[in-house]
Structures are given as C-alpha cells and as structure tokens.
Structure 1
Amino acid sequence: MKVTITFILIICMLYAKGQTEGKLILIGDQFTFTEGPAVDSKGNVYFTDQPNNSIWKYTFDGQLEVFLEPAGRSNGLYIDKDDHIIACADEKNELWRISPQGKVEVLLDHYKGRKLNGPNDVWVSPAGGYYFTDPHYQREYWTRKGKEIEEEALYLFQDDVLTQLDADFIKPNGIVGAADGRLLYVADIRADKTYVYDIDEKGTLVNKKLFCSQGSDGMTIDRKGNVYLSGKGVTVYNAQGQKIHHIDVPANWTANVCFGGKEKEYLFITASEKIFKIYPDW
C-alpha cells in the first residue's frame, strides 16, 4: 500500500510540475519596486521593496512575509554560506551583513576616506570575498549631491580590506559569479555590455573579456552555466555568450533574478511592483 501511495504522489508531483513548466507564476504585486532576490540554504528567497524600505521573505513552502523594516533602503542582496544577508544598503551608501534573526552589522561605507557612490549589487564568492558594484544613482532621500568618488567601479571586500578592482565602466550594475568561484560576470548597464573575468586563487580578477553585448540590472547563473540578464524581461545566454532564451515579463522593468525553492528549481524574478517565479523548461 505504501508503495502505491508513494507512486501516486510522485505522479501528482510530476504532473503539477508539467503544468507549470515555462509559465510565470505571480507571487505578489503589492510592492512599489522590487529588487535583490537572494536565496538561503533552505531555499527561502529574500527580496527588497526599496521605496518602502523593506526586505521581504518568501518561504520555500509559499509564505510571504516582511523580514526587516526599515532596511536601509537595501537594493541588491546576496546570502553567504552562514545564511547572513549581505545587503547593498543604499540609504547611507553602506554594505551590511544581516543575521538570520535580522541583526544588522555595517561592514563599510567609504573607500580611502570618501563616501561610496551607492553599492548596488553584490556577490559572495566561495572563498568569502564580497564583490560589489558601486554606480552613482542620485537618490531623492540623500542629503549629499553628486559623487565623492568619481569612478563608478567594481570592488572586492575581503579580509576587512576594500580593493577597487576595475573602474573601466560607465555604470556597473548587475554581478554574479560561478558556483565554483572561478568566473565573475559584471554588467555595464549604461554601455549595454556584460563582461566576464577569471578569478585567480587570491580572488584577483584577470582576463577580462566581453561576454555579450547586453547590459543588465541584476543577474544570476544556473547549474548549466547559463547566465540570466534582466531589464526588459529576462534574457538567457549560454556559457559561450550565445542567446538561447527570452522570458517576457509583464512589468515596466525587470530588476533582478535568482534561483530559489527547496531544490533551487524556480527562477525568481523581481519586476517593478511584482515578484514572479517560473520553472525553466529550456
């Protein structure tokens, strides 16, 4: 009897999966502007509603709840191996580490005595290095006007040392690295280009190459090495930089993406006032 019930459950799960493959599923549309989806070790997805100064949590079993408010006007997020959220806290141009219980630690807010432009997106390497982009988007809630750092650059924060890695961008934005820590992808959204670097054993970036002639707001990478760029929907490139798929998203702007769920089986998409998930079928 047990074998029969198990078999029926498996069939039902496969049928349900088949019914949703390749179809956008709306999770919520009560936000103002969603950003920064990131997944923890259990498959829960956290994302920001920046204008409303909050971080939300969507659990792997489908519950949607506020995790942190206020949240430093956080934008891009990434979750480290200890399930701490690394947040680009835009209100005061800081990088935060947030514990699973919601305790905030400010990691940094300046480079060589000058205020950062505004950390935007971040990726944490397996070695524990925090790579982040620092473009300048003037915010209405800032008291300061203009930049203290002229370069809009890519940085690495590792072993309590902040290093400017590359300043040859117009406006760096989306960033993601390969799971094995050997490759880093960075988008120059204003130049409409995405680059790929090799990461050496010290965490230094080498061999910068053009990956594709498309920029991106936020981005992610799947188990096959396909790279997902956001903006007008989601565009998928294979590891060789060839376009293989496009997801039309019914929103003015698609800001960011990540994989989440119990098996990291769903692609989560933050798009204007909405958040979606989709089970890839490509």
Structure 2
Amino acid sequence: MKLIVTSVLITCILCAKGQSQGGLILISDQFSFAEGPAVDSKGNIYFTDQPNNKIWKYTSEGKLDVFLESAGRSNGLYIDKDDHIIACADEKNELWRIAPSGNVEVLLDQYNGRKFNGPNDVWISPAGGCYFTDPHYQREYWTRKGKEIEEEALYLFQGGILTQVDPDFIKPNGIVGTADGRLLYVADIRADKTYVYDIDEKGNLVNKKLFCNQGSDGMTIDQKGNVYLTGKGVTIYNVQGQKIHHIDVPANWTANVCFGGKEKEYLFITASEKIFKIYPDWL
C-alpha cells in the first residue's frame, strides 16, 4: 500500500475554543460519505471517505491530508495502543491492521471458512480484545450476491482466536466500549435498539441488556460515561440510558463520532459529505 501525503486547503471555520462553544465547526465538506473517525495517541483524527476509497488524517494542529489511497473501502476504524489503525475493510470483507507508515496487514477475512458479510465497526478493549460487527449491506462493487454467513453477528478476535459471540441481531452496526474495559455497547440499527454487555476478566460478554430504544451507525463515549449515538444528528444518553442532549447536524446523515484533539477536547462528527468538530460545553 502506498502512503499518500497530499495537503488540501481546509474549508474550515477557524476559531478558538472559547468562540466555538455550543457551535459546530465545519472542517471540510469535500467527501462523498465520511465515516469511521478514530483518534491516535497524539489526538490526531483518522477517518474514511468510503465511496472514494480513502483514509484521511486531521492533525491536532488542524492540517487535513489524505493518509491512505486504496483503503479497502474501509468503514469503521479504531486505533490500538501502538497507533495502528484497525480498519473494517469492506471491499473484500476483511479486517485490516494499518501501521503508521501506511503498510497494511490483513488480520481476518473469514469465519469458519466463509467470507464475512462486511465488517462495519470495531472497538479494541484495554486488554487487546478486538470486537467488531458484521452486518450485510450488499455493495455494487462486490462480485458475490448474498451472504456466506447467514447471521449478522458480533465477533471477538482475541489471542489469535476468532469467536462469534452474539448472532442475535437483525443488523448490528455501531460499537464502543468504556475506557476501563468493563462495558460494551452495540447498536442494532435495523431493530432501532442499543444493547450493553458486561465484559468479564477473560473478555467474554455477559449480562446483555437493552440500553435504549435507538439504533446507531457509529458511537462514542465521553469521560462521564455518556453514550453518543448517530443517525439524525447526534443523540446523547447518560449511563442509565436516559436521553440528555441532542446535537442538530446540517447533513442528511451522521455516520460516526469520536473525541480527539490534543486534550481530547473536541467531539468529531462525520456527516455525509462533511466532517465537523464541536467543543462539548454541555459536559
């Protein structure tokens, strides 16, 4: 894979943190469908433009570049403790690990000899467990038609072992866990529900419970444990599953969210052809 460093002019409303409180800041609106924002150890944000097959990087200093061309039609991303990007590479239904240099390693491409439906979103626990959702969205660029795996399921890849941990979804999508590694949230976007699991000391998921009656594309959690769901704007729930805030976003669809910046002080929102950031003055 070739690493591309192509600077572009950021179509951004530049303002200081104090001026941006309560308001969205447009970073750029040049994408076809922005997805999968993830933050590295320095606060830089990586995100995908899935139809254009690129991964972009937005630095904590405000510079926007193409990080990787031919990005496997990646959707959701997560960055591990070594600053490798774990990417749901939808083009060939694979899970990738991308080094900071841009070199790509295919981690997974099948379960029990059958191709995945299409890994969509991923989260890495502090213990290193890789949890990901595998819904089926038929793509026009696929040669295959239909599923090889009937279940649209949740998986765990840990210690070199892949396990289908929960097949009981209509269409699982967004996923995120808590910083302490004790809870995992997974959205069933077709059922319009989000569930929460306890994670035991071995990484197993137990005590699945309904968290709220709303599905989500991508998801994130803030330092208070509030859960951020996407779709039409961004809706925020407290740890009890009560709706506490909503962010109206001027886009047809908000696909994903994460916190980033030097102090993780901004919420980043990928929304159709746009990416925004906002200073969360509600916290």
TM-score, with length taken from structure 2: 0.94
The AA in structure 2 aligned to 1:34 is A
- Equivalent residue, structure 2, for 1:166: 166
Select the structure of larger CA radius of gyration.
1
Q: Distance in 2 between matches of 1:16 and 1:28?
A: 17
Q: Distance in 1 between matches of 2:16 and 2:110?
A: 49
> Structure 1: which 5+ residue stretches go unaligned?
1-14
Shift of 1:22: 1.5
- Equivalent residue, structure 2, for 1:157: 157
Q: Distance in 1 between matches of 2:100 and 2:277?
A: 23
- Equivalent residue, structure 1, for 2:215: 215
Q: Deviations over 1:172-206 (max 9, x none)?
A: 00000000000000000000000000000000000
Name the SS for the 1:154 alignment partner. strand
- What are the equivalent positions in structure 2 for 1:202-281 lying under 5 Å apart? 202-281=202-281
Shift of 1:19: 1.5
Q: Distance in 2 between matches of 1:22 and 1:201?
A: 39
Shift of 1:63: 0.1
Shift of 1:281: 1.1
Matched, 1:136 2:157: no
Q: Distance in 1 between matches of 2:245 and 2:280?
A: 10
The AA in structure 2 aligned to 1:97 is R
Shift of 1:54: 0.2
Name the SS for the 1:254 alignment partner. coil
Q: Deviations over 1:109-137 (max 9, x none)?
A: 00000000000000000000100000000
Q: Distance in 1 between matches of 2:119 and 2:66?
A: 23
Shift of 1:228: 0.2
Q: Distance in 2 between matches of 1:63 and 1:131?
A: 30
The AA in structure 2 aligned to 1:102 is G
Runs of 4+ in 1 over 4 A off after TM superposition: none
Quote the sequence identity (%): 87
Shift of 1:160: 1.0
- Equivalent residue, structure 2, for 1:71: 71
- Equivalent residue, structure 1, for 2:182: 182
Task: Provide the aligned length of Structure 1 versus Structure 2.
Answer: 268
Shift of 1:18: 2.5
- Equivalent residue, structure 1, for 2:195: 195
- Once superposed, what is the RMSD of the aligned Cα atoms? 0.8
Greater helix share, 1 or 2? 1
Q: Deviations over 1:36-73 (max 9, x none)?
A: 00000000000000000000000000000000001000
- Equivalent residue, structure 1, for 2:91: 91
The AA in structure 2 aligned to 1:163 is T
> Structure 2: which 5+ residue stretches go unaligned?
1-14
